Structure 1
Amino acid sequence: MIHRGSHAKMDQLYDSVRRGIANVAPSDLMTPSRIVERAADAVSEDAEPTSTIAPYYQDLAGVNQPMNMVFKRGIWWMLGIAALLVLGIRISQLLWMQLRQVAAMTQPREKQTYWKYSQHEWMPWIKRYVLYAPLGKKRHNREIRLSIAGHMGTLPSRFHTIVVGVFLLSNTIYLFWVDWNQENKYALCAEIRGRSGTLSMVNMVPLIILAGRNNPLIWMLHISFDTYNLLHRWMGRVVIIEAVIHTISWSIPAVADLEWSGAAEASVTSWFYGSGWIATIGMVILLIGSLSPVRHAFYETFLNSHIALAIITFGGTLIHCATAHIEGGLPQLPWIIAILILWGLDRFARFARLAYCNWTRAGFTTARCQAMPHDVTRVTLTLPRHVDIKPGTHAYLRFWGVNRWECHPFSIAWVDHHATRDSGLPVAEKEPLTGIDYSRTTTSVSFLIAAQTGFTRKLYDTTVAHSKRFGSPAVFMKAAMEGPYAGHHSLDSYGHAVLFAGSTGITHQMSYIRHLLKGYNEGTIATRRVTLVWVIREYDSLEWVREWMTEILRIPHRRDILRINVFITRPNNARDMSPPSETVKLFPGRPNIPLLLAKEMAEQVGAMCVTVCGPGALADDVRSAAIAVQGETVCDFFEESFTW
């Protein structure tokens, strides 16, 4: 059925064409092109005024595409140059550390004086006020608590603030570099629409690169995933805000031309408009779910919904770019295709690492879970193949009996390699000439997991329940390890290493201690003094690492370089303070970190590094002390953290 309005418009169009033909001169009656031209002019004269708005929300009229491409190149060149600059600095640092290690590894501690002092007078200033400095006075990694259940996250460091600030400022300038003197407000909306949409897509490319665990920039630039995660969050916020501005800039002329009902109908009936709305709504929900209080209160839900909403956003954006009223789609179509490829490659790399580490013809990875004092689960994974794992690494774990689809990162505390049953003698004894036959070894990897909420709490409760039910000290279940990741902070070139750990943060430092003692005995590292400071609440927490610590104390010559100071903040009785060894000392209360570090500085051997892994408050105290001692001598600071 044809509506009356349609008849009226057809009659009006017919009258316009008829008048146009009537105005054709008799000499032009034999020229068809002239007849068509006059008819088109008549139709244009009778068109409604609102039709002039349509190009500013339907097509690229008013969009300054050349300037959009200039700003696209500006952002990508800025990020590329920054990456190249960091790469150059990292290469020079690695070469210097390699030179220092080679020169000092055969020298006694008293002959490492040259490496003790800074080679550049400006370097301590940079460390004190830029690289290591918190945003304010002291607080950096200590959470801003709202309640017991949730918090606002952490504050970025001063250097990270500068990086994020430059990125935000550049995007703000690019976004509002438009012709504000434009008299046609709909043309201005079109220019803002094109600029904001382009910038959103431009920033989405590095956003996806930085989000991946297998991001190649991590090992190329030796920058931690924690830093990339911070940049990912801020880039994501910028991408979403620009997408919202893009949608609002479309809505203003669309509503002016079609009214609210017409704009809503167009959004529902058009693939181009509808997919754009779906992508924008998906982004807004992503932003709400990623707000720090929401993310920390419902972290497991956030992880799963984040992936689902990202897929919806990518799909909507792809359809939006492909179904535009332009031949070949929008100019941004290749970018979203590249984004999907990058995201798919990261997912494939994660799957490949899972398959490689956890499956062979001999079987799958199994986990031995044991409940330890103070709600800690000690987990030892037996991988079915040999996996080379460096000190200071972490891995993502998932358990078939505990939320099998979720995986969380944990520091690797201890690694052992074992000969398989069919290899006969231990591998090292059986093949002294050709080395270890890795095809006949398996690897066990151990973790300490403190029960908090969600996944970690369910793991501990499941372990305790199974132990009580079957009367066994440990529970076995299928598991999988994705990793290892990180491990790019090498301590081998430092003559002096001071390691701080809080609670289960000892896992990060145990791997370094074992590696440094082994390297000292083999003469392959420069380290001549190692001091461990471990802060725990109860004496029973020593049980977490008793097996590993016993093995460390049996390593030859460990008395020459290793000192261990354990601070128990809540000792039960005086007997708990009896030292188990001359090099292992127990102290009640909390450590005076500035005093401890000042004492280490007074006895510094060669270049010094200070590392910390533990609660945010402890990490901030160690950072503050490391900043305070910056001066003539070399003191580098490393922090291991998982801010989410």
Structure 2
Amino acid sequence: MAMENVVVAFVFAARNSPLLYFTDWSYSTYLLLHRWLGYWVIIHTVLHSVMLLVYYKVFGSYKEEIICPYWIWGIVGTVAVVALLPTSLLVVRQRLYELFLASHVVLSLLFIIGYYYHIWYCYGYNWGYEVWMFIAGGIWGAERVSRLARMVFKGRHTATVKLVEGTDGEYIRIDIGGVHLRGVACLCFPTLGWRLWENHPFSVALSNTKGGVKVAEKPRPAAHNAFPEKSAKESAGEICDLSTQAAVVLEGTRATGSTFFARTRTGITAQLAARATAASRDSTVRLRVLIDGSYHPSTNSQLAYCTAILCIAGGVGITAVLPYLDKVRSPRRGQLYWATRKAGLVNALKPELDALSDVRVETELGRRLDLDAILRKELTWSNPDEGPLGIIVCGPAGMADDVRQNAARLTREGHTRRPWALVDEAFSW
């Protein structure tokens, strides 16, 4: 039973799983199921090992069995799968993501290899138990190959990395030209360090699809005496006006590209910030990047019938809610509440926030949002004829929990005057 659950766990862990396209579940939901199936794999494996140990102890053949190859490989598989638990705890994933990623791959492979030789030395190919290993290994290998193929053939680009001004190096901005991304993309910077295989998820904050910078055609020099009624000064002024118009077109039209904002922590974000700091005076560096993705969330069905969108963001969580707000068009109403500690991050995103024509934006600098007051205003003071409200939250785990608890409490107490749907954009690993 443990190996059967491994097959399903591998399916749920795959970023390119066909189930993501056939269902309306988000990748975070699949990862949640992956973790719970992993718990069952550990429980079944430990029970199997303990029961065999007790059996051979009781019937007196323990000393003969422990030197058998199948027993040794069974121990390898059991130890590997048990070691997956402490190395996959949330605190490890948050603080030592590289350790979690590397240990997860190595220990999973050890478990599969140990299982295979455990079965082969015990039964050979007589009972078909090895088939589960082939299926699990095939799923894992195919998914890894598909990731690599996407990165090599479609994901090779150049990224511009710079520190966000006014944030004391706490935030970085990553711009990648020539690619339109949505949701979450996994970025790999092969020239950043010796761990060439590492790629990390980043939320796409901005993405443009206008296809390139449009340059106004240069005005042709006028022939002599073409406008004899105009003075030379007037003609020169007209040419200057045309040049100014061309500059406006250049500034107002963006090329195709995607932008990410990230908070500098340990690991890859710290390396990117250090490279940008040491690069030049303007703290900007250009690096080769391989892109795996993008993987956009499946939340359209939850928000399709909502007549208003309420976004609550904390810090760099603004990057996950901006794509939702960018799609808000009248008569649908949008509202953004954003709390951040750094004014520089607000200034960096000011052009995008100002461009949200049908969205009211309220920011809190250095202070917490009054979530209870916000939800009371949107859920209890609103007109019941306004229709369902879509609530999207992205920020610290405590913020998401508070939004969920406050909205649920208001509903239980009978204060809400409209239905609502909650989308938690906390991308968990």
Q: Structure 1 residues 353, 626: CA separation in 2 closer, same or farther (over 3 Å shift)?
A: farther
Q: Which of residues 138, 157, 163 is equivalent to 1:365?
A: 157
Contact preservation (8 Å) 2:53, 2:62? no
C-alpha contact 2:26 2:299 (8 A) present in aligned 1: no
Q: Which residue of 1 aligns with 2:373?
A: 595
State the Cα distance separating 1:366 from its structure 2 match: 0.6
What's the CA shift for 1:225? 1.9
The amino acid that maps onto 1:619 is A
Distance 1:210 1:548 in 2: 35
Matched, 1:265 2:62: no
Residue 379 of structure 1 corresponds to 174
Amino acid at match of 1:531: Q
Asked if 1 retains the 8 angstrom alpha-carbon contact of 2:311 and 2:336, the reply is yes
Superposed displacement of residue 639, structure 1: 0.7
Contact kept in structure 2, 1:593 and 1:622, CA below 8 Å: yes
Query: In structure 1, what residue type is equivalent to 2:343?
Result: Y
Residue by residue, what CA displacement relative to the aligned partner does 1:12-43 show, whole Å, maximum 9, x if unpaired? Answer: xxxxxxxxxxxxxxxxxxxxxxxxxxxxxxxx
Question: 1:448 matched to which residue of 2?
Answer: 261
Q: Secondary structure at the match of 2:25?
A: coil
Name 2:427's counterpart in structure 1: 642
Deviation track 1:354-394 (CA, whole Å, cap 9, x = no partner) reads 23431xxxxx30111110114100101124xx54x44xx11
8 Å contact 1:275–1:319 — kept in the other structure? yes
1:281 lines up with 2:91 in the alignment? no
Shift of 1:258: 6.4
Q: Report the equivalent of 2:314.
A: 502
What CA deviation, in whole Å up to 9, does each residue of 1:103-138 have, x standing for no partner? xxxxxxxxxxxxxxxxxxxxxxxxxxxxxxxxxxxx
2:343 corresponding residue in structure 1: 539
- Does 2:185 correspond to 1:395? yes
Deviation at 1:277, TM superposition (A): 2.4
> For residue 619 of structure 1, what is the aligned residue in structure 2?
400
Show the counterpart of 2:144.
347
Q: 1:320 corresponds to which residue? A: 118
Change (3 A) 1:492 1:425: farther
Shift of residue 622 of structure 1?
Answer: 1.8
1:335 aligns with 2:116: no
8 A Cα contact 1:448 1:504, kept in partner: yes
**How far apart are the structure 2 equivalents of 1:291 and 1:564?**
36
Which whole-Å CA distance do the structure 2 matches of 1:351 and 1:425 have between them? Answer: 40
The residue type equivalent to 2:382 in the other structure is: E
Give the root-mean-square deviation of aligned CA atoms.
2.7
Query: Does the residue aligned with 1:365 lie in a helix, a strand or coil?
Result: strand
Q: Which protein is bigger by CA-based radius of gyration? A: 1
Please give the residue correspondences for 1:53-452 in structure 2 after superposition, counting only pairs within 5 Å.
199-255=1-57, 261-266=63-68, 270=69, 272-325=70-123, 328-358=125-155, 364-372=156-164, 373-374=167-168, 375-383=170-178, 387=180, 389-390=181-182, 393-403=183-193, 404-419=196-211, 443-452=256-265
Q: TM-score, normalization: structure 2?
A: 0.80
Contact 1:532–1:565 (CA under 8 A) maintained in structure 2:
yes
* Rounded Cα–Cα distance in structure 2 between residues aligned with 1:257 and 1:634: 63
* Equivalent-residue separation in structure 2 for 1:286 and 1:398 (angstroms): 24
* Preserved contact between residue 353 and residue 361 of structure 2 (Cα < 8 Å): no
3-state SS of 1:419 partner: coil
Within-5 A mapping of 1:570-609: 589-601=367-379, 602-604=381-383, 605-609=386-390
Indicate if the aligned counterparts of 2:372 and 2:406 stay in contact, CA closer than 8 A.
yes
Work out whether residues 412 and 507 of structure 1, in 8 Å CA contact, stay in contact via their aligned partners in 2.
yes
Write the mapping of 1:33-44 to structure 2, written as runs, cut at 5 A: none
Query: Matched residues in 2 for 1:473 and 1:406: separation?
Result: 24
Residues of 2 paired with 1:504 and 1:329: CA distance?
A: 55
Cα distance between partner residues in 2 of 1:475 and 1:615:
29
Q: Distance in 1 between matches of 2:337 and 2:95?
A: 32
Instruction: Note if 1:486 corresponds to 2:296.
Output: yes
- Shift of residue 424 of structure 1? 8.5
Q: Distance in 2 between matches of 1:253 and 1:507?
A: 56
Does 1:516 find its partner at 2:311? Answer: no
Aligned equivalents of 2:11 and 2:215: distance in 1? 46
- How far apart, CA to CA, are the structure 2 residues paired with 1:544 and 1:244? 52
* TM-score, length-scaled by structure 1: 0.55
- The reply on whether 1:463 has 2:276 as its aligned counterpart is yes
Between 595-604 and 233-242, the greater mean CA deviation after superposition: 595-604
Kindly provide the CA deviation profile for residues 56-111 of structure 1, in whole angstroms up to 9, marking residues without a partner as x: xxxxxxxxxxxxxxxxxxxxxxxxxxxxxxxxxxxxxxxxxxxxxxxxxxxxxxxx
Residue 209 (structure 1) shift: 1.2
The list of structure 1 runs, each at least 4 consecutive aligned residues, that deviate by more than 6 angstroms after superposition, is 423-426
Structure 2 residue 334 is matched with structure 1 residue 530: yes
- Map Cα deviations across residues 205-229 of structure 1 (whole Å, 9 max, x no partner): 2111111112233332222222222
Gaps of 5+ in 2: 218-253
Say which SS state the counterpart of residue 482 (structure 1) adopts. strand
Deviation at 1:637, TM superposition (A): 1.0
C-alpha distance in structure 1 between counterparts of 2:64 and 2:265, whole Å: 52
In the TM superposition, what is the alpha-carbon distance from 1:448 to its structure 2 partner?
A: 0.6
Counterpart residue type for residue 81 of structure 2? M
Q: Secondary structure of 2:35's match?
A: helix
Give, as a single letter, the amino acid of the residue that structure 2 aligns with 1:498.
Answer: L
2:274 counterpart of 1:472: no
SS state at 2:274 partner? helix
State the alpha-carbon separation in 1 of the partners of residues 86 and 304 from structure 2: 44
What SS is found at the alignment partner of 1:381? strand
Between the aligned partners of 1:617 and 1:302, the Cα distance in structure 2 is 23
When residues 324 and 261 of structure 1 are mapped into structure 2, their CA distance, relative to the original with a 3 A threshold, is: closer
Alpha-carbon distance, 1:548 to partner = 2.5
Percent of aligned pairs with the same residue? 27
What's the CA shift for 1:293? 4.1
SS in 1 for 2:84: helix
Q: Distance in 2 between matches of 1:297 and 1:593?
A: 28
CA distance in 1, matches of 2:291, 2:255: 14
**Which residue identity is paired with 1:284?**
V
Query: Cα–Cα, structure 1 residues 347 and 424, in superposed 2: closer, same or farther, change >3 Å?
Result: same
Check whether the contact 2:174–2:261 (CA below 8 A) recurs between aligned residues. yes
CA contact (8 A) 1:610 1:626 kept: no
